[in-house]
Copies of this chain bind each other. A is one copy, B any other.
Amino acid sequence: MRRINIGLLGCGTVGRGFVDLLARERERIRGRDGVDIAVRRILVRDADKPRPGINPSLLSTAALDILDDGCDIIVELVGGVHSAGAFVRRALANGKHVVTANKALLADSGRELFASAERNRVRIGFEASVCGGIPIVRALRLGLAGDRIESISGILNGTCNYILTRMEQDDLEFDGALRLAKERGFAEADSALDVGGEDAAQKLRILGELAFGPQHVNMRVHGIGDVTHAEIEQARARRCVVRHVATARQVGGGIEMRVERRELPEFHPLAGIRDENNAVVIRGRAVGELMFQGKGAGSLPTAAAVLSDVIEIAACSTMTP
């Protein structure tokens, strides 16, 4: 059986979830996919921090130890654009496949990184970068490869959707709903990227480029920071709900992308998406309207998406550009 060695960069929420999930599923994957996947090295900031269940001899604080070592696949879960970008560039140049959950990096430097992967005949897996456990990247990359996509629309940020749902259901103003989202763990201490719309915009950019190819993008982003309970009540009186919706569609000069709050009629497919859930509606010329929904974030759903990419790359060694 082929052994696939993973160099894991980062051991935060998702990294830890990946280690735990792989430990649980390794035998099943050996049986089903015929590959034995093992974490060989883990990059951490502080090697002395106690990490129950993780063999301390795997830990390193030196990225080059891992990037220049004999790993087959580098799993990048450090986040951010600068260090993560440098690590991914070096991994690709070293001829290693990369799996990443880093939407900011792909939204920022995706074209350059994919070109580097193609030159080096390796692959970049990025299922985890959009909508956590929902396999939407694979649906666009493979499942709908035979069709021409007409539009994508979705609820791509679980924090915004949680806040809007709670304002509606619990009669809260924005600040009260944001506080609740933080208490329940659905919003970070710094929620600016989420409520300002930038997080959804990064995900939309990745999905739009998958669906329509590299083109000029006209992007307009609005957040939900100024939504009022009165606005939600007025929508309800019209049998509508307020949702934070991201849309991408082909227009004359390129791709038009919008991230904005919208009033949707009650029977709209995205109107029924509540709390921290995500959903994506894809309209294809041949297949018509498809909808995918599920949890868009969280340690284990995101780790499952990372692991699915690792398995696919391990099981199919030729490069699919």
Q: Chain A interface (Cβ within 8 Å of chain B)?
A: 17, 21, 24-25, 28-29, 31-34, 127, 132-135, 138-139, 142-148, 213, 272, 284, 286-295, 300-301, 303-308, 310-312, 315-318, 320-321
Contact = CB atoms under 8 A, between A and B. Distances in A.
Nearest to A267: B272
Given A135-B139, A316-B316, A317-B318, A145 B307 contact: yes
Q: Which residue, of A28, A304, A305, has the highest number of chain B Cβ atoms within 10 A?
A: A304
Given A288-B133, A290-B294, A316 B308 contact: no
B292 A288 contact: no
A321 B310 CA distance: 16
A249 to B, nearest CB: 17
Nearest to A127: B143
Given A135-B143, A315-B320, 13 more contacts: A21-B146, A21-B147, A25-B146, A29-B145, A33-B145, A33-B321, A133-B286, A138-B142, A139-B143, A287-B300, A288-B295, A290-B294, A316-B318
B305 A146 contact: yes
Contacts of A312: 142, 145
Given A144-B304, A147-B304, A320-B315, A287 B138 contact: no
Nearest to A28: B148
A308 B321 CA distance: 15
Contacts of A148: 24-25, 28
Contacts of A213: 31-32
Contact of A308 (B142, B304, B306, B317): B142
Contacts of A29: 145-146
A301 B286 contact: yes
Contacts of A33: 145, 321
Nearest to A269: B293
Contacts of A295: 287-289
Contacts of A134: 287, 290
A223 B293 CA distance: 28
Contacts of A145: 29, 32-33, 307-308, 311-312
A196 to B, nearest CB: 27
Nearest to A31: B213
Contact of A303 (B17, B31, B127, B146): B146
A35 B58 CA distance: 42
Contacts of A139: 135, 138-139, 143
Nearest to A291: B293
Nearest to A307: B146
